[in-house]
Amino acid sequence: MQLPTIENYGNYSSDNYGVNSLKVTMGDLQLWYSYETIVAFACSHFRDKFDNCPLMVTKNTWGNTTGKHLNWIDGGRKEARTDREDFEKYLAQALQSHGVEK
């Protein structure tokens, strides 16, 4: 297995804040974090389930900063976001399909 890659997806003016908006890629599994919480993921496992779009983003149940992170991830497509309970269920399936435990 390859080592994961870690990158910043945010648009912060200072790298000091970039640690709060990280994307981790492990093979075809991508995980977007807002602080220490996974708020979006993508993997080929979900292509057929979601109209050939493997990106799943949770609805914002936190605050303005996480809302900004979500907008950076999905371009502000709030209508396409998934409620947190379903998001957690699908995330668990995606992690399990890649042999990753949460």
Mean pLDDT of 11-32: 83
Whether the model clears a pTM of 0.75, i.e. scores above it, the answer is yes
Question: Which tens digits make up the pLDDT trace of 43-96?
Answer: 876 665 555 457 999 999 999 999 999 999 999 999 999 999 999 998 998 888
Number of H helices, E strands in the chain: 3, 5
58, two tokens: 């949770």
* Consecutive H or E run containing 40: strand 37-42
- The domain of 46 spans 5-97
If one counts the domains in the chain, the total is 1
| Within a domain: 81 | yes
| Within a domain: 78 | yes
| Within a domain: 102 | no
| pLDDT for the residue 22 | 93
Q: What is the Cα Rg of the chain in Å?
A: 13
